[in-house]
Chain A
Amino acid sequence: MNNSSNSTTSSPSPSARRLLSHTLIHSVLILAAIITLIPFAWLLASSIKTSADFFTSVFLPTGTGWGGIAWDRLTLVHYERLFLELGIARNLLNSFFISSVTALGATLAASMGGYALAKFRFTGSSIVTSIVLAALIIPAPLLLAPGYLFIYQLGLLDSYTGLLLPAMAPAFGVYLFRQAIWNSVPDEILESARIDGAGEFRIFFTLVVPLMRPMIGAFLLITFLGMWNNFIGPQVIFQSPELFPLSVSINQLKGVYSQDYGLIMAGTVISIAPVLCLFLLLQREFISGLTAGAVKG
């Protein structure tokens, strides 16, 4: 701070000023955190309230229990209904299935492709690189209609393959891995391995992949998340309800049971809980991967 010589006796001391700014900052952060968390809290509370109680209170129904809350009026009936009557387990399974398979497939393809572009000099590498860069600009909605047409022609409509296969060629991923491998994998190890006579695939899986572990972890998670929350893809490709992931089925739930708010909220909780848990466990990998492309590259 500017320690000017004409400080009056009434100006606060530096430590008091620091305390004030400290408190201010924490207040702002806490306020922001509360605003961020309110929808989650409301979502959770709504999913365990009975329909009758839904509008009697904002969060949890008030009553004579501990802390002024009517704990006995809370209920899991919405969750029961979702699992036993409405078959949400199948949708949950579908979400897990398409997200994890896409994540693995896309990561494999992207890491291999990125490796090729980063560590090999070959004719056509610059063309492929330009294609990858150009592809970053293609907006997905542009491919929606012609992609649907092509998948129809292949007879893959209304099948898992129709959704999974196209998702395994992320140009964005190839770009990320190319950057990452370029930066983190020294040419010398590759050379010495080749001199030792190791095959190319062996080199890739035993040398390159371990070095790329953080990036692989992050990209897996990003792709998993993207596919988990993907709505328009399954909506367009899938027609049979037994294929629907949670994004499509919960949206339909809202159409049918538009007034059963507790049910819809419970369904939404089921839809976002797995991803939130995954994130909780793996946040460091996630965030490092997210920022890798932006900050370093």
Chain B
Amino acid sequence: MKLCATSSVKAAPWLFLAPFLLIFGAFTAWPLARSLVLACQQTFGPTNTVFVGLDNFRFLLTDPLFWTALQNTFVYALSSVTLQLPLALGLALLLNRPSLRGRTLYRLIFFSPSLVGLVFAGIIFSIIFEKRTGLVNVGLHRLFPIFDLDFPWLQNYVMPALILASLWMYVGFNMIYFLAALQNVPRELEEAAMIDGANAWHRFRHIILPEIKPVTSFVVLLSLIGSFQLFELPWALLSGPGPENRGLTIVMYLYQTGFLTNDLGYASAIGWVLAVILFTLALTQQWFNRKETRS
């Protein structure tokens, strides 16, 4: 269709943006605004709503279940990120060696667990971590006979089980990022360092680590944000929050209050707390980055 050049160019960007903006406006922006009001209401399903002001937030402050969820989520996020990233980086360093055979195969293998949905991984691990008959206990017992065959992963050691599961799932995923970053490190820098007599550790600390810093901080932020929204893995692993709510996470509590107790208002309030936490995380990371680049 041949329109007058200037007007078609003027309208064009809006036409291109239209699908996104319409759907975004309807299903992201509008619910976001609505959630501010919703967080100040108590509901029983979508039709019974009562305005309660800041009562939801006041209750949150003293709600033992919420604090349990908060604690569990923090512990999970910090532990799993702290453990995942060095492992991912380590694997990436190993795979980055120029003379390595089978790199594509290794990459494929390590990345594949992240394709498994969290729900499916939870189901798989709920059977693998079973006492006495599960793969983990049987295997560890065979390798180390002093290991208790009845080790109660899913009863008393829920957090370690979750962290191990998350390691299996995401180390390979994060490794891909690190690998790409490592492959972008200019070879000349490393070679120059080698000629200068720097050993491997030295090269790592002073050349590689600074070069991959942007990717590292990206991966850290991405992993933290993802970990804080953990829900499906413990939900499928424990068929609920688990014994004594050991597997309760923030998003799980949000789901329970919003869709099992049917209080959409309280769920929105929890959602806002989560948003504030994540926003603070992102800001903190930005601040760190700026400090680093300035120094």
Q: Are the C-beta atoms of A115 and B16 separated by less than 8 Å? A: yes
Give the shortest distance, in Å, between B234 (CB) and chain A (any CB): 12
Shortest B26–chain A CB gap in Å is 8
Q: Note all chain B residues with C-beta closer than 8 A to A174.
A: 20
Q: B227 → chain A, closest Cβ, in Å?
A: 12
Q: A2-B197, A150-B34, A229-B118 are in contact. Are A166 and B91 (CB under 8 A)?
A: no
A39 and B255 contacting across the interface, CB-CB below 8 Å: no
Chain A 18-44 residues near chain B, CB threshold 8 A: 22, 25, 28-29, 32-33, 35-40, 42-43
With A116-B13, A135-B28: A39-B168 Cβ-Cβ less than 8 Å: yes
Interface of A is mostly: helix
In the docked arrangement, what's the CA distance between A169 and B20, Å?
5
A230 to B30, CA, bound (A): 22
State how many angstroms separate the Cβ of B184 from the closest Cβ of chain A: 6
Which parts of B88-121 form the interface with A (CB within 8 Å)?
91, 94-95, 97, 99-100, 106-113, 115-120
Contacts of A84 in B (CB 8 A): none
Q: A112-B17, A142-B271, A145-B264 are in contact. Are A55 and B133 (CB under 8 A)?
A: yes
Q: Is B77 positioned at the interface, with any CB of A under 8 Å from its CB?
A: no
Whether B272 sits at the interface, judged by CB under 8 Å, is: yes
- Are B35's CB and A142's CB within 8 A? yes
A223 contacts partner chain B, Cβ-Cβ < 8 Å: no
Cα A254 to Cα B24 in complex, Å, equals 35
The answer to whether B271 touches A144, judged by C-beta atoms less than 8 angstroms apart, is yes
Q: Return the CB mask of B36-60 against A: 1 if under 8 Å, else 0.
A: 0010000000100000000000000
Residue numbers in B under 8 Å from A69 (CB-CB): none
Q: In the complex, which residues 158-209 of chain B have their Cβ closer than 8 Å to any Cβ of chain A?
A: 168, 172, 176-177, 180-181, 184, 197, 199
Whether B76 sits at the interface, judged by CB under 8 Å, is no
Of A58, A108, A152, A225, which is within 8 A of B115 by CB? A225
Residues of B within 8 A of A236 (CB): 255, 259
CB-CB under 8 A from A150, the residues of chain B are 26-27, 30-31, 34
A213 part of interface (Cβ distance < 8 Å):
no
Interface size class of A (residues with CB under 8 A): 35 or more
Flag if A279 contacts B123 (CB, 8 Å): no
- Taken together as a complex, chains A and B put the C-alpha atoms of A135 and B30 apart, in Å, by 13
Judged by a CB distance under 8 angstroms, whether B19 is at the interface is yes
The verdict on A144 contacting B258 (CB below 8 Å), with A231-B117, A294-B177 known, is yes
Is A199 an interface residue, CB under 8 A from the partner?
yes
For the complex, give the distance between the alpha carbons of A250 and B3 in Å. 53
Q: Mark A199-242, 1 if CB is under 8 A from B, else 0.
A: 11100100000000000000000000100111110001000000
Interface residues of B in 238-295 (CB under 8 A from A): 239, 250-251, 254-255, 258-259, 264-265, 267-268, 271-272, 274-275, 278-279, 282
Would you call B65 an interface residue if the criterion is a C-beta within 8 Å of the partner chain's C-beta atoms?
A: no
Interface residues of A in 117-145 (CB under 8 A from B): 117, 120, 122, 125, 128, 131, 135, 137-145
20 contacts between A and B (CB under 8 A): A25-B97, A33-B109, A58-B139, A112-B20, A116-B12, A131-B24, A137-B275, A137-B279, A138-B28, A139-B228, A142-B274, A144-B255, A145-B265, A146-B264, A165-B23, A166-B26, A232-B232, A276-B112, A283-B107, A291-B176
Task: Add 18 more A-B contacts to A169-B19, A265-B124 (CB < 8 A).
Answer: A22-B99, A36-B112, A39-B124, A40-B112, A43-B124, A113-B17, A116-B14, A139-B228, A146-B31, A146-B38, A149-B46, A168-B23, A169-B23, A194-B5, A200-B8, A268-B120, A272-B116, A294-B181
Residues of chain A whose beta carbon lies under 8 Å from any beta carbon of chain B: 1-2, 22, 25, 28-29, 32-33, 35-40, 42-43, 46, 55, 58, 108-110, 112-113, 115-117, 120, 122, 125, 128, 131, 135, 137-150, 152-153, 165-166, 168-169, 171, 174, 194, 197, 199-201, 204, 225, 228-232, 236, 247, 250-251, 254-255, 261, 264-265, 268, 271-272, 275-276, 279-280, 283, 287, 290-291, 294-295
